[in-house]
Structure 1
Amino acid sequence: MSTDEPLFDRLGGQDAIETVVDDFYERVLNDGQVAHHFEKTDTTALRAHQAQFISAVTGGPVDYDGADMYDAHEGMGITDDEFDAVAEHLETALEINDVPESDRQQVLIEIDSYRSDIVGA
């Protein structure tokens, strides 16, 4: 594949992103360090919003219509360590779904750009 393609396409499009998101949440929801943040969350809706968000930030033909990152995480008390743990789960989910290292790093850079809106919100 050409690197001129949007990251969304290099990831495999919407179906592949949804698979990554499912694998990601299986890891997150089984991680005692961060799972408590999701106890009162509709994880089906959360998975849909996460797939939509990743699709949008990777250049897909998708508009993210969820809450902005600060509002979505306000009052949750997320720490840098928890953010890093979740990012690590995302990287693992991307890796086990055969996303090349350079594309994994690009996704993580995109996600990390929202750190200040998520941590300590």
Structure 2
Amino acid sequence: MSDQSVYERIGGREAVDAVVDDFYDRVLTDPQLVGYFEDTPMAELRAHQVQFISSVAGGPVEYDGGDMREAHAHLDIDEPDFDAVARYLEAALRENGVSEEDTATIMDEVAALKAPVLNR
């Protein structure tokens, strides 16, 4: 195993930007999910997602997006929608060349957010 962080192994900021762009391309074309993003400043949301992925991947960034429960409470997200978003992120990671091991590391962090995002 390398001493590099996941962030470094996947290609740093450029790779994370590509994953986030791919991820939102998928999410925003899904009729089941697009309603959650109406009236959302997407540039700001994309920046938060880049920061989040960079942070959980061990990059030189600390996520300051706030409390997940508070940030998502007004959306009333249900479990199938959370799961769909997670699947799109996993697909974007894989499509952009992130290894199975590094994808699993990032997705473990996402899974840990399920309860707070669903306001449980």
Per the normalisation by structure 2, the TM-score is 0.93
Aligned to 1:59: 58
More deviation, 99-108/18-27? 99-108
Aligned to 2:48: 49
Judge conservation of contact 1:56–1:63 (CA < 8 Å) in 2: yes
- Counterparts of 1:69 and 1:12, CA distance in 2: 27
Identical positions, percent: 46
Judge conservation of contact 1:79–1:120 (CA < 8 Å) in 2: no
**How many residues are aligned here?**
120
Moved over 3 A (4+): none
Is 1:39 aligned with 2:51? Answer: no
Judge conservation of contact 1:94–1:104 (CA < 8 Å) in 2: yes
- Counterparts of 1:98 and 1:120, CA distance in 2: 32
- Counterparts of 2:20 and 2:51, CA distance in 1: 10
- Counterparts of 1:37 and 1:3, CA distance in 2: 39
- Counterparts of 2:113 and 2:2, CA distance in 1: 24
- The alpha-carbon deviation at position 120 of structure 1 amounts to 3.6
Judge conservation of contact 2:69–2:119 (CA < 8 Å) in 1: no
1:15-59, Cα deviation, whole Å (9 max, x unpaired):
110110011000000011111100110111100010001111111
More deviation, 3-12/25-34? 3-12
Aligned to 1:14: 13
Aligned to 1:103: 102
- The alpha-carbon deviation at position 13 of structure 1 amounts to 0.6
Q: Which runs of 5+ in 1 are unaligned?
A: none
Judge conservation of contact 1:52–1:63 (CA < 8 Å) in 2: yes
Amino acid at match of 1:65: D
